[in-house]
Amino acid sequence: MSEKWNLIVDVARCDNCRNCFLATKDEHIGNEFPGYAASQPARGHNWVDIQRQERGRYPIVEANFMPVMCNHCDDAPCMKAATGGAVSKRADGIVIIDPEKSRGQKAIVDACPYGAVYWNEEAQIPQAWIFDAHLLDQGWKRPRVEESCPTGVFRSLKIEDQEMQRIKEQEGLEVLRPECGSKPRVYYKNLHLITRCFVSGSVVIDVEGVEECAEGVEVILQHNGSEVARATTDIFGEFKIDKLEKNSGQYQLELSSASSGSASAQFELGDESLYLGVIALAAGG
């Protein structure tokens, strides 16, 4: 077995500073790397881009950011669409679109299910992020996206596939669009911040006619009669339960506090995260 490059992207760490985006443009705009990539156009190409996803409703709402790029798939659709050896996979796992052999092959762009391959109209070639293979071949230990990131979003690893699978299972990593079966080498941590939903709410108790935040209330979430998650309200009386599948149907919430009473609520989860509003505990039931 041989060691191959992989990239782990932690969505929870990305704050949309776009250093990775700018570093890639700085590396490739106006620079030719024969055998690796032609110069990136000054406009229209985002080989490394940032997708934004807002979740929730006021007052519990959040925005998350996800870097996206060529996934350097082991079963790459672009390779299947290419002719004449225009797209190749190196022994170290990196996929390269040859800037000469790929001329005129726009089908390579259309084949990518991730939208990560761009068409250079002037040069008449398809282009994508090359994992900074030209730098790694010179002895760099990691690509520029990782070098430029101030919050530790990226972690590149050159390891054997068996070890990568162990890390994937250990850290709960996911790939984009697994249904495509393209076997990406870019893995995502905390992908639920983009792909799944949360439910939240604010819990209060009545203290001499005044509603006050209820801290320490136990919140149990049930789905199809079984408990799926639980949480405890914070000092503001707020709770949030995450990683729920979109469009997963009816849920039941049971809230209880030994000193303040209990409450229940039902809701149906569609494709957006929910804020259930203010939930008041009732003494004795």
Q: What is the pLDDT of residues 38-77, one digit of tens each?
A: 999 999 999 999 999 999 999 999 999 999 999 999 999 9
Domain 4-194 -> CATH class: alpha beta
pLDDT digits (tens, 9 = 90+) for 114-125: 999 999 999 999
Question: Per-residue confidence at 1, pLDDT binned at 50, 70, 90?
Answer: low
CB 90 within 8 A of CB 74: no
Say whether pLDDT at 283 is over 80: no
CA gap 76, 88 in Å, rounded: 9
Rounded Cα gap, residues 52 and 221, in angstroms:
28
pLDDT value at residue 16: 98
State the CATH architecture for 197-280: Sandwich (2.60)
pLDDT band at 144 (very low <50, low <70, confident <90, very high): very high
Lowest mean pLDDT among 195-199, 246-250, 279-283: 279-283
| Per-residue pLDDT at 81 exceeds 80 | yes
Q: How many CA atoms lie within 13 A of 118 on its CB side?
A: 23
pLDDT (0 to 100) of residue 284: 57
Whether pLDDT at 285 is above 70? no
Instruction: Tell me, yes or no, if the two domains 4-194 and 197-280 fold the same way.
Output: no
Q: Confidence band (pLDDT; 50, 70, 90) for 207?
A: confident
The answer to whether the predicted template modeling score (pTM) of the entire model surpasses 0.85 is yes
User: Token pair of 58, please?
Assistant: 């006021």
* Tally of residues, the chain: 285
Beta-bridge partners for 119: 126
pLDDT score of 271: 96
For residue 241, what pLDDT is reported?
98
pLDDT of residue 108: 98
Domain boundaries, given as residue ranges, for the chain? 4-194, 197-280
Alpha-carbon span 14 to 69, nearest angstrom: 15
Give the mean model confidence (pLDDT) for residues 252-260: 91
Angstrom distance (rounded) from CA 33 to CA 161: 28
The average pLDDT across 233-250 equals 97
The model's pLDDT over 88-102, given as tens digits with 9 standing for 90+, comes to: 999 999 999 999 999
Nearest partner of 133 among 31, 33, 50, judged by Cα: 33
Average pLDDT value for the chain: 96
Q: Determine the average pLDDT of the residues in 126-136.
A: 98
Q: How do 274-280 and 197-207 pair as beta strands? A: parallel
Integer Cα distance of 83 and 199 in angstroms: 49
Give residue 185's Cα distance to chain centre. Answer: 14
Section 2-25 average pLDDT:
98
pLDDT for 260: 80
